[in-house]
Amino acid sequence: MTLSFRPIAAMLLGIVAMWSQETKSLSPEGTWNGYMDGNPAIALNVHREGDGFAGAVTFFVVTAGAEPVREVKPMRRLAFKSNSLRFVISGPAGDDVEFTFRMQHEDLGQLYRGSDTTESIELKRKSVK
């Protein structure tokens, strides 16, 4: 009886390839859109700047009977680690509001406000800049 190592080697290469894809660091660069009730609610625009990242958040503010108004806020104090982008924007009262964007895979993530991880909005990558 002859034992062939080819199937075993192919299986091991497949496992290593899957593991390397799951553990590779993702990049938050691009435009990420979030929707509520089928309407645009938020967009993150992230790009590289030097050794880090920069960007802006666009909120689509909806009031009854009116067209949505875009409110753009620059991101500050951006930090990207372990597929999570943390940043701060200026809130309505001028206070700092912290956000964390956790990438689940290269085109999907969740945006959380502050340290609250119970509520989030799903963001999908529209494009890479």
> Which tens digit of pLDDT belongs to each residue from 117-128?
889 999 999 976
Q: Report the predicted TM-score, pTM, of the whole model to 2 decimal places.
A: 0.76
Q: Which pLDDT value is given to residue 38?
A: 86
Q: Which pLDDT value is given to residue 117?
A: 82
Segment 28-52 shows an average pLDDT of 94
pLDDT tens digits for range 66-105: 888 999 999 999 999 999 999 999 988 889 999 999 999 9
Q: Which pLDDT value is given to residue 98?
A: 96
- The phi, psi pair for 17, rounded to 5°, reads -65, -45
Q: Which pLDDT value is given to residue 116?
A: 82
Top CATH class, 26-127: mainly beta
SS (H, E, C) the chain: CCCCCHHHHHHHHHHHHHHHHHHCCCCCCEEEEEEECCEEEEEEEEEEECCEEEEEEEEEECCCCCCCEEEEEECEEEEEECCEEEEEEECCCCCEEEEEEEEEECCEEEEEECCCCCCEEEEEEEECC
Q: Which pLDDT value is given to residue 115?
A: 83
Statement: residue 16 has pLDDT above 80: no
